[in-house]
Amino acid sequence: MNSDPISDFLTRLRNASMVNKPTVEVPHSKFKLELSKLLKSEGYISDVKVEGENSTKKIVIDLKYDENGSPKASNGGNSVISIGLGGVALRPSKYLNHSVNSPSS
């Protein structure tokens, strides 16, 4: 059992894109499905499908790569999906080249 299903979802996407897999399957949830649709509408993934029924329901995500084979969910080494000790962040590409000031502790 995953303690953080959203982090697991994003890690699966990141890992699959790093090895150029064409698709990723993740356990279904309404939130993950909506997040997948958002990533599709922003152009980071190609397609989102739901397969199966009830407890076997899963989301199948077709990943998107540019003409050089680089994942669309990255921009010059700056991943759109960022997972770290501070949590999970999705950064729209329009913000990737801007510096962000973090609050001091």
CATH number at residue 79: 3.30.1370.30
pLDDT computed for residue 90 by the predictor: 57
- Please give the helix or strand (H or E) that residue 16 lies within, else none: helix 5-18
- What residues make up the domain containing 10? 5-95
- Three-state DSSP state, 20: coil
Rounded-to-integer distance, Cα 58 and Cα 18, Å: 21
Is residue 103 domain-resident?
A: no
pLDDT computed for residue 44 by the predictor: 85
- Scanning the structure block, which residue is given the tokens 């897999």? 21
Rounded-to-integer distance, Cα 49 and Cα 40, Å: 11
Domain count, the chain: 1
pLDDT computed for residue 96 by the predictor: 45
Is residue 100 domain-resident?
A: no
Is residue 101 domain-resident?
A: no
Which stretches of the chain score pLDDT less than 70? 1-2, 73-105
Torsion of CA 17, 23, 26, 30, to 10 degrees: 100
Rounded-to-integer distance, Cα 21 and Cα 60, Å: 12
pLDDT computed for residue 67 by the predictor: 83
pLDDT computed for residue 81 by the predictor: 57
Residue 23: closest CA among 31, 33, 37, 13: 13
pLDDT computed for residue 102 by the predictor: 44
pLDDT computed for residue 70 by the predictor: 78
Is residue 104 domain-resident?
A: no
